[in-house]
């Protein structure tokens, strides 16, 4: 199970990072979401087609937090839109909870990058709109109660009657999160939800999202540009090579314990190995891997990687009970 990946040797760092790699295939029963061989192509000028990505496979477990990282143009948002049902794959299927998806569903809530609140509705109105779409026969009082509960969860109690235009960017995105949570979805899909926020607000919202997801065991698929965000939030991090014709280069298992403290995170064993691995990927390997995948690459079972710095780190992680791990 422990073998050096070719890239680690090539890179030749002074303190060579080791990485456990393996396929660690998910059993069929474990797969809550299964992206199976999807492709997305667009017609290009000259009668040809541009392939954003093809033959993309990705399984996800129930209750798992998966982040997808890659440069612009690798089709991250397209993958998310296909998962949401807003876009249809040119080939392949996505199976959620045993059923191939055919369109949008209230089971899959989306938190949009630009919050996408309806500006003519109040905070309560925006969340209640989602609630009343989910429970169509619910009475007014029940809808309001559910909406208020979701608003309180994201810490916006007291701002129910404000209009989106009266809210700051962070508060707007909180409403977006409340709207998504209010419908109690099986899967939460987030498309760079915090990229438009300042660093402080982003940190607070990441804490909130992490708390809510850990408490509720929410299955989350999130797209991000931010390596630190992925490290803090994700159980597994999917690395996409540059597009067009992007591929899932590898899936990185987050070795950090599930109980994470933002302030202590950078002291955790394996933190820097993970961070360096991700940054190396974004800086160089996302490009080199697009041009030439390592031998034995199977797009159906992309390699699973577990970066670690030293044997001491590895020992520390190994010493932990596996249940606590991601």
Partner 1 sequence: MQRTLSLRAGILSLALLALILLGWQVAVSGSARTEVMDPEYAALMGQTATTGKSAMPGPLDVGATIWKHLKDPFYDRGPNDKGIGVQLAYSIGRVALGYGLAVLVAIPVGFLIGMSPLMSRALDPYIQILKPVSPLAWMPLALYTIKDSSLSAIFVIFICSVWPMLINTVFGVAGTRKEWLNVARTLEVSPIRRAFTVILPAAAPTILTGMRISIGIAWLVIVAAEMLVGGTGIGYFVWNEWNNLSITNVITSILVIGLVGMVLDQLLARAQRLVTFPE
Interface with partner 1 by CB under 8 A: which range of 6-14, 29-37, 99-107, 144-152? 99-107
309: CB partners within 8 A, 6+ apart: 15, 17, 269, 270, 272, 273
Q: Which residues pair with 240 in a beta bridge?
A: 248
CA dihedral angle for residue 239, residue 50, residue 57, residue 21, rounded to 10 degrees: -40
Using CB under 8 A, which of 23, 99, 104, 168 touches partner 1?
A: 104
- Near partner 1 by CB under 8 A, which window of 81-89, 274-282, 305-313, 318-326? 81-89
Which region among 107-115, 273-281, 282-290, 298-306 touches partner 1 (by CB under 8 A)?
107-115
**DSSP sequence for 207-248:** HHHHHHHHHHT-EEEEEES-HHHHHHH-SEEEEEPPSSSB-E
Q: Find out whether 85 and 102 touch, Cβ atoms under 8 Å.
A: yes
User: Of 137-196, which residues contact partner 1 (CB under 8 A)?
Assistant: 163-165, 183
Residue from 92, 114, 169, 257 binding partner 1 (CB under 8 A) = 114
Q: Does 105 bind partner 1 (CB under 8 A)?
A: yes
289-311 CB burial, b ≥16 within 10 A, e <16: bbeebeeebeeebbbbbbbbbee
129 forms part of the interface with partner 1 (CB under 8 A): yes
CB of 128 to partner 1, least distance (A): 11
**Residue 88 is a binding residue for partner 1 (CB under 8 A):** no
User: Is residue 57 within the footprint of partner 1 (CB under 8 A)?
Assistant: no
Residue ranges binding partner 1 (CB under 8 A): 84-86, 104-106, 108-110, 112, 114, 116, 118-120, 129-130, 133-134, 163-165, 183
């Amino acid at each position: 199970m422990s073998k050096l990946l070719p890239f680690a040797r090539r890179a030749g760092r002074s303190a060579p990072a080791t990485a456990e790699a393996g396929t660690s295939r998910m059993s069929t029963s474990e797969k809550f979401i299964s992206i199976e061989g999807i492709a997305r192509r667009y017609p290009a000028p000259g009668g040809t087609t541009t392939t954003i990505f093809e033959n993309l496979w990705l399984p996800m477990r129930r209750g798992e937090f998966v982040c997808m990282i890659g440069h612009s143009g690798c089709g991250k948002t397209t993958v998310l839109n296909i998962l949401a049902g807003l876009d249809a794959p040119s080939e392949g299927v996505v199976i959620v909870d045993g059923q191939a998806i055919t369109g949008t569903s209230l089971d899959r809530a989306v938190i949009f990058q630009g919050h996408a609140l309806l500006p003519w509705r109040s905070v309560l109105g925006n969340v209640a709109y989602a609630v009343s779409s989910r429970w169509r026969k619910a009475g007014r009082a029940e809808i309001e109660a559910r909406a208020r509960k979701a608003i309180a969860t994201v810490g916006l109690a007291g701002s129910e009657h404000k209009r989106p235009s009266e809210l700051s960017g962070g508060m707007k995105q909180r409403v977006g999160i409340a709207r998504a949570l209010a419908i109690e979805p099986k899967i939460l899909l987030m498309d760079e939800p915090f990229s438009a926020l300042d660093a402080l607000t982003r940190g607070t919202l990441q804490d909130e999202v992490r708390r809510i997801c850990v408490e509720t065991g929410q299955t989350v698929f999130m797209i991000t540009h931010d390596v630190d965000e992925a490290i803090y939030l994700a159980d597994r991090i999917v690395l996409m090579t540059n597009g067009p014709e992007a591929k899932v280069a590898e899936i990185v298992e987050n070795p950090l314990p599930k109980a994470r403290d933002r302030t202590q995170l950078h002291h955790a064993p394996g933190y820097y190995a993970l961070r360096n691995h991700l940054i190396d990927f974004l800086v160089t390997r996302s490009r080199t891997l697009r041009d030439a995948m390592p031998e034995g690459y199977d797009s159906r079972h992309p390699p699973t990687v577990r970066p670690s710095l030293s044997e001491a780190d590895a020992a520390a992680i190994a010493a932990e009970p596996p249940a606590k791990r991601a």
